[in-house]
Amino acid sequence: MVVVVVLLLAAGVAMAAAPEGPRLAVVRLTTTAHQVRIELTTVDQDGDHPLRLAGGGRHSRPWPFYFSPPAWSHDGESVVFSGIVGSHNGDNHELRLKLFIVRANGSGLHAIRGTRGASSPVFSPDGHTIAFTRSIDRDEPTVIGGKKWKHGFRGASIWTVDLLSGVQRQLTPWRDGLEYISSSFSPDGSTLLATREDPLLLNESEPVALQLDGGGSRRLLEDGSSPVYSPDGSEIALIRRTVDDGESGSEGSDLYAMNADGTDVRRLTQTPQLYEGSPSWDPSGERLAFDRLRVVGEGIAGETAFMEINADGTCATRVASARRWGLIDPTWQPGPGREAGRIGC
């Protein structure tokens, strides 16, 4: 009897093993007449063979927050994500968020203490620290960072949390209107890429590099968002806003790449009236995954596409698409043996 139980347990463990080969974590959104289903899932490079890690139906919280890409630990063993745990009372129904970690096989889901309101998490290369964005949006008088704000406050600051001690550190200041969104550590862990929105400087989002030794921040370009390092740290992919030169003058955004020092900026896609986002390098550094959305008025219309493209801008490939919602926030799983390489076309 003991032998049978041991064999059954071993079989269960084997079935729970994470799939091998190239994988991406994605947020899967599906809608029916009766419910919205939000899951954190992994898929292969073709968008197939899904494995659910977290979320699901109405009673399967935390749901992954769909405007915050998940992030892998550098060994590819775990995923950190911003999870929806509820909503605040009031007319705006503001979501209650918290960071969660789950293993690549879907086991071990747990919350990170002290991360209420956190989004845009990023694992440090050593796996001991997570950087994240903490956002505050209040209309009533409030106190932020020891300072009183009479007319409310809207801003976002980047913090880090040590996973062993729970100690948190604030990297960017609180100021009304100032927002920092974390996105990528350098391979040596010395620099954190982020998007900064500062109405006192520019009307555009700008990509910046934060020196974690206290050396301040450096603007990489005058405009751009969601900067992410390539696996070897030599390049950065990012999103830049575009305006159609035709009669419509419609706006969109495209995928770009450049050297890590901000030189040799290259446009990889050219998609008027479409919005691209959430770039992620595969472990080989030879291809990128990203979102492509069509936005009309106040909401999303048409197709939401999960795309891949070679790092030189060739062979753009639609992996999956759906009406209104689909697979979004694709993030490559790092680690040896998970390289996808170039797309053949």
Q: Phi/psi of residue 7, each to 5°?
A: -65, -40
Task: Establish if 245 belongs to a structural domain.
Answer: yes
Task: Establish if 1 belongs to a structural domain.
Answer: no
Computed over every residue of the chain, the mean pLDDT equals 88
Q: What pLDDT does residue 297 have?
A: 60
How many other C-beta atoms are found inside a 10 Å radius of the C-beta of residue 126?
11
The two tokens of residue 165 are 């001690």
Q: Is the pLDDT of residue 232 over 50?
A: yes
Residue type, 140: E
Task: Establish if 3 belongs to a structural domain.
Answer: no
Q: How many domains does the chain have?
A: 1
In angstroms, the CA 18 to CA 20 distance is 7
272-283 pLDDT, tens digit each = 889 999 999 999
Task: Establish if 312 belongs to a structural domain.
Answer: yes
Task: Establish if 226 belongs to a structural domain.
Answer: yes
Given a contact cutoff of 8 angstroms between Cβ atoms, the answer to whether 275 and 300 are in contact is no
User: 123: Cβ–Cβ under 8 A, 6 or more apart, which residues?
Assistant: 71, 72, 73, 74, 78, 80, 129, 130, 185
pTM for the full model? 0.90
Task: Establish if 159 belongs to a structural domain.
Answer: yes
Q: Residue 33: pLDDT band by 50, 70, 90 thresholds?
A: low
Q: Is the pLDDT of residue 92 over 90?
A: no
Q: What pLDDT does residue 5 have?
A: 34
Q: What pLDDT does residue 200 have?
A: 84
Instruction: Check which CATH number belongs to the domain holding 93 and give it.
Output: 2.120.10.30
Q: Is the pLDDT of residue 59 over 80?
A: no
Task: Establish if 160 belongs to a structural domain.
Answer: yes
Q: What pLDDT does residue 3 have?
A: 38
Residue 222 structural domain: 22-332
Residue 19 DSSP class: P
Q: Could you tell me which residue, 315 or 298, shows the higher pLDDT?
A: 315
Task: Establish if 337 belongs to a structural domain.
Answer: no
**With 0-12 CB in 10 A as exposed, 13-18 as middle and 19+ as buried, what is 49?**
exposed
